[in-house]
């Protein structure tokens, strides 16, 4: 029997997931939902499936095994709870919400139902991530350096901070999250931002550049630096430093520098494909043990990046990052 999958939001990232799913044996792209008629038509022509403009209609009409929620950060408004209520497994793209109270409700519901649920932090699935874990165990890492040096993304919501959550929350979240996966929780953050360099993009309200300094529960320290004002970006990567060993990680390759040599490990498969494989396997087997980014953990990454945004809005004021818990959500 095929695994019937539905989508809420069929824009850019959904298309990448759809490409992966379309190539998988035994997966049926059964239903697509989007507010935008052109986006819906484009996706339906390419991938098939019944088309819906409203996600509850889709969930009522279709019996789906799994639903991907691939909508912009500001648009999360209960879709996840509706998917869980339908009995389907849930995939949510990062950042999973901008509203922590709403996120806690979703996390609690996943826990209560024992549902299969996965979040879109695909960097965790890269085979090179596994290698970093072996070469630089969490307790050996003293310093973390994350860089996200890019341009202004074309989606209309993206350049509006109130809709995207800001760059720490929207894109640098991948680096925060991977560092949490490799080093552990961040307990303190202080951040600064600058602006005033972009005059040619209407409606732009993002910071042109920002930096966040963090401390981990292990005692390690870190820095995340981002800009989005480059037409030709310099890429994004994460460096981890231990005694006599440094690892420079990007989604395409890992470079490890020891005292006497530098070794390059190219990533074998695209991390997004590995993530989709793991999710569909979990749905079929009803076994979440292969999922590397749970909703509850993704919510801790949002908690951390929202603290960074709060700090830069308060001119660098130190923020303690609390650990959210199910108890606190009850």
Ligand X SMILES: NC(=O)c1ccc[n+]([C@@H]2O[C@H](COP(=O)([O-])OP(=O)(O)OC[C@H]3O[C@@H](n4cnc5c(N)ncnc54)[C@H](O)[C@@H]3O)[C@@H](O)[C@H]2O)c1
Give contact residues for ligand X (rule: CB under 6 A): 8-14, 33-36, 39, 55, 70-73, 75, 93-94, 120, 122, 155, 170
Q: Which is nearer to ligand X, 9 or 103 (CB)?
A: 9
> Minimum CB separation from ligand X for residue 64, in Å?
15
Say if strands 319-320 and 221-227 run parallel, antiparallel, or are unpaired. Answer: unpaired
- The CB-nearest residue to ligand X is 11
Least distance between ligand X and beta carbon 76 (Å): 8
Which helix (H) or strand (E) segment is 92 a member of? Answer: strand 89-92
Beta bridge partners of 144: 222, 240
* Share in percent of the chain as helix, strand, coil (round to 5): 40, 25, 35
Nearest distance in Å: CB 310, ligand X = 19
**Minimum CB distance to ligand X, residue 243 (Å):** 32
* 222 vs 189: CA distance, rounded Å: 9
Closer CB to ligand X, 55 or 147, in the complex = 55
Length of the chain measured in residues: 330
Quote the DSSP letter at residue 324: P
CA–CA dist 90, 263 (Å, integer): 38
Please say which residue, 74 or 192, places its beta carbon nearer to ligand X: 74
Q: Whose Cβ is closer to ligand X: residue 70's or residue 136's?
A: 70
Report in angstroms how near the CB of residue 240 gets to ligand X at its nearest. Answer: 20
Measured CA to CA in angstroms, residue 37 lies from 9, 11, 42, 200, 264 at distances of: 11, 11, 9, 29, 45
* Closer residue to ligand X, CB minimum distance, 80 or 93: 93
Considering the complex, what minimum distance in angstroms separates the CB of residue 92 from ligand X? 9
Cα 321 from Cα 330, distance rounded (Å): 20
**Nearest residue to 66 via CA among 102, 97, 24, 108:** 24
CB-wise, 104 or 174, nearer to ligand X? 174
Closest distance of CB 190 from ligand X, Å: 24
Order of strands across the sheet that contains 89-92: 50-52, 27-33, 3-8, 66-69, 89-92, 117-119
Tell me whether residue 136 or residue 182 sits nearer to ligand X (CB atom): 182
Q: Considering beta carbons, is residue 35 or 201 the nearer one to ligand X?
A: 35
Pairing of β 27-33 and β 3-8 = parallel
The distance of closest approach from Cβ of residue 10 to ligand X in the complex, given in angstroms and rounded to an integer, is 6
Q: Which helix (H) or strand (E) holds 168?
A: helix 167-170
Question: How many Å apart are CA 61 and CA 64, to the nearest integer?
Answer: 9
Closest to 146 (Cα-Cα) out of 131, 168, 163: 168
């Amino acid at each position: 029997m095929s695994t019937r999958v539905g989508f809420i939001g069929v824009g850019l990232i959904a298309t990448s997931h759809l490409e992966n799913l379309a190539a998988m044996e035994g997966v049926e792209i059964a239903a697509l939902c989007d507010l935008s008629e052109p986006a819906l038509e484009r996706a339906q022509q390419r991938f098939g499936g019944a088309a819906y403009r409203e996600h509850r209609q889709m969930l009522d009409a279709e019996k789906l095994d799994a639903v991907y929620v691939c909508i912009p950060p500001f648009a999360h408004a209960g879709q996840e709870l509706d998917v869980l209520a339908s009995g389907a497994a849930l995939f949510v793209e990062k950042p999973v919400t901008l509203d922590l109270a709403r996120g806690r409700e979703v996390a609690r519901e996943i826990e209560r139902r024992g549902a299969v649920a996965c979040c879109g932090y695909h960097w965790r699935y890269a085979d090179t991530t596994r290698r970093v874990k072996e070469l630089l165990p969490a307790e050996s890492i003293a310093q973390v350096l994350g860089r996200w040096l890019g341009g202004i993304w074309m989606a209309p919501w993206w350049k509006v901070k109130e809709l995207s959550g800001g760059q720490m929350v929207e894109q640098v979240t991948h680096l925060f999250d991977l560092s949490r996966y490799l080093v552990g929780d961040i307990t303190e953050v202080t951040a600064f931002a600058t602006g005033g360099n972009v005059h040619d993009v209407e409606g732009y309200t993002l910071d042109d550049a920002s930096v966040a300094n963090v401390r981990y529960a292990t005692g390690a320290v870190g820095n995340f630096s981002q800009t989005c004002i480059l037409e030709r970006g310099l890429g994004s990567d994460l460096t981890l430093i231990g005694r006599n060993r440094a690892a420079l990680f990007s989604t395409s390759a890992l470079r490890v520098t020891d005292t006497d040599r530098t070794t390059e490990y190219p990533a074998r498969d695209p991390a997004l494909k590995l993530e989709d494989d793991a999710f569909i396997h979990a749905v079929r087997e009803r076994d979440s043990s292969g999922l590397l980014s749970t909703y509850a953990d993704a919510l801790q990454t949002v908690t951390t990046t929202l603290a960074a945004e709060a700090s830069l809005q308060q001119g660098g004021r130190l923020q303690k990052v609390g650990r959210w818990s199910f108890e606190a959500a009850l």
